[in-house]
Structure 1
């Protein structure tokens, strides 16, 4: 069950081809523009750096609908998957800094890609301006029911008794599920093997099938499997327990200070007029505090959380500090 399955292999060549395509595309950077007095006077575009159907896409579509109503102009969702979010980021940077092109940002293109891909054709800190947080969510550490560990402490004891024999799956090298697993390995000092896949779906499917014993992935993905008894949850990665799985302890109850959350935010190109950034931020804060947002995310393990631009900037900086250290200590690299 700990041997890397065949479907996890071959991702490296595909990643290389995709990264080559990304780095071969020029980024068109235009100068700062002045805010239109009647902005917005035409439809907006919200770029999502992933294919349709995932959690980020679902959140973006809710935000686009509500933001369009708040601004009086439609907001179209533009899915630009590829390069771990890099193609979507480049699409935003190729547009004018006029507030009409928005970016549904996750840690990949703004935090971890710059740490893993030093030749990226953009500077994540310089080229994007934060607008607002959108949502936060927990990850869940889950094991196949055949794993004889009923708690995190028992899992740690198992791993220490058999170094390198216990493996965890992830959505790919550098993905949030990979980094969360590496942080767990570092904080506990245990020797875990990593089995990377090309996406969350196959990663989780093979844990359910018993091909890999454990994974750490988003709460919204794993809740149905845990409730159906197809996986056993041993811990959530937020500081406190979550309402959706109240019987599952926080990992921090065993490892004080341990915390990993899934973050989605809204950013624009740097140089976008401050008045537009402020208007967008205020609209998003109202949306994410609305009854509609509460209804939309109820029971999913995802918490709507609008913020000021400065607050999102601080979250991104904290994410960079955390994952810079994990990537360095774990020796993670895109081969």
Structure 2
């Protein structure tokens, strides 16, 4: 080996060690000031509430404040764009729901950020359950009876959602495709208005948030046919899964934390470790809504889940020709 080559390799190794040393030093002191957890929706919604329920115990574990910051708009993509372009130092994180990476790439033409490369996973936080509910006037009591009724009355049943491209919309479209039935979409501006019209009989069915509908199910104001998770919910174990009739059916919101791409691995590791510590705290778990399951993961596991969900929803959105202008 020539002397010049030896010097070059030594210089390269020194530079690499220096970079690693800086990264390790930063991770060792991280965090030394407040972390901003950006919620890409308005205050008071499910994501905002969950973020605040996690921020408080996460603050205690990290030793620095985790400050929830709301940046709503465009289905959550404005907040996602803000985080995607923030400094990659671990101090700006995104409370991520399915829209920002799993579905928005196929619903919007111009996002203002790269949903595949601009954000990296810190870890999974929770999964929610949706429930298929119908009005009491609809003469069905099981998922099979609903499918048979829809096939006998093609084009007559509408399903409500909280908006175009929402989890409830896509769940309804998935049910339509997998059941092979002809039902049509009725979009509302949120779950609340959809719930009101469902109970009023203006729309006969929906697949939406279990925690919201559970009180009305228990009071008998609406009828539950099945939950959208792969297994029954602890919040309502007597409600079967839709998958018991349509094998493999799954459609539920996944909430997780992401950071700007380029955030040092050691910082991501620390954020992931402390997040999982919070998630597995019995006191934290007890505070969450019925129908919500706290689930941790490694960053790699979450990245893999994002990838599989992207493939799933891309195929459905293209087949149903769903677009947001």
Report the TM-score, using the length of structure 1 for normalisation. Answer: 0.88
Which of the residues 117, 141, 147 maps onto 2:132? 141
Moved over 3 A (4+): none
2:135·2:201 contact (CA, 8 Å) conserved in 1? yes
1:141·1:216 contact (CA, 8 Å) conserved in 2? yes
The reply on whether 1:96 has 2:87 as its aligned counterpart is: yes
SS state at 1:126 partner:
coil
Report the TM-score, using the length of structure 2 for normalisation. Answer: 0.90
Residue in structure 2 matched with residue 21 of structure 1 by the alignment:
none
Residue in structure 1 matched with residue 107 of structure 2 by the alignment:
116
Take 2:230 and 2:297, find their aligned partners in 1: how far apart are those partners?
20
The reply on whether 1:321 has 2:311 as its aligned counterpart is: yes
Take 2:140 and 2:159, find their aligned partners in 1: how far apart are those partners?
14
Residue in structure 2 matched with residue 126 of structure 1 by the alignment:
117
Take 1:87 and 1:259, find their aligned partners in 2: how far apart are those partners?
27
Residue in structure 1 matched with residue 291 of structure 2 by the alignment:
301
What is the CA RMSD across the aligned residues, in angstroms? 1.3
Alignment of 1:49-64 (within 5 A): 49-64=40-55
Take 1:196 and 1:326, find their aligned partners in 2: how far apart are those partners?
17
Take 2:237 and 2:293, find their aligned partners in 1: how far apart are those partners?
15
TM-superposed CA distance for 1:323, in Å, is: 0.3
Unaligned runs of at least 5 residues, structure 2: 1-21
Kindly name which structure, 1 or 2, has the bigger radius of gyration based on alpha carbons: 2
Take 2:270 and 2:30, find their aligned partners in 1: how far apart are those partners?
10
How many residues were matched structurally? Answer: 302
Take 1:55 and 1:93, find their aligned partners in 2: how far apart are those partners?
22
Take 1:238 and 1:93, find their aligned partners in 2: how far apart are those partners?
30
Take 1:283 and 1:76, find their aligned partners in 2: how far apart are those partners?
16
Residue in structure 2 matched with residue 175 of structure 1 by the alignment:
166
Residue in structure 1 matched with residue 277 of structure 2 by the alignment:
286
1:293·1:304 contact (CA, 8 Å) conserved in 2? no
1:98-117 Cα shifts (integer Å, max 9, x gaps): 11111000011111111111
Which of the residues 133, 148, 167 maps onto 1:157? 148
